[in-house]
Amino acid sequence: MEFESVPAMRIIGRERWVSMADGVENPIPALWEESLRDGTIDLLIKLPLALENCTIGWMGDAKGDDFAYIVGVAAAENTPVPSGMQYRDLPACEIAKGTVHGNMQNGDVYGNAHNITVAGIEERGYKPDYSFGWSAEMYPGGWDFGGPEGAIIYLCPYKK
């Protein structure tokens, strides 16, 4: 678990709304596949980045069982948004970076990343700071989504 300060940044990418309700299909894997295949990620990683050499799966704007998910990058503050992309402006904050290992194929690593990272924050005497209203999956450049076992880096704002 790492803790660091991040600057104000602009999350830029393709957005889908996700429902946590039972029986609703998860659109996130298809969004990643499409964004990697159609050149979206190649376009976005050329922008000025606040978090270098990585792509982001940003989650926020929760409304009941639904939340927004953006496949994209953490660009520098005020970066112009390419046509057809969505964005969110985030203020500077302190984040915890939890590296979570597990099964990439059955969703194990994704389903447990938040709880494992929050537990790591609390074990160190800190608290997650939900007032920022977001968390994110971070994938360093060259990350392999295809293997059965792997890891993600989960970002969560925290407070001391």
10-62 residue pLDDT tens: 999 999 999 988 899 999 999 999 999 999 999 999 999 999 889 999 999 99
Can you give the pLDDT at residue 106? Answer: 65
Complete domains list, the chain, with CATH = 2-159 (3.20.80.10)
Q: 90-141 pLDDT, tens per residue? A: 999 999 999 888 776 666 777 788 899 999 999 999 999 999 999 999 988 7
The answer to whether 74 and 49 are in contact (CB under 8 A) is yes
- C-alpha 53/C-alpha 70 separation (Å) is 17
Residue 145, pLDDT score: 61
Q: Determine contact, residues 76/6, Cβ cutoff 8 Å.
A: no
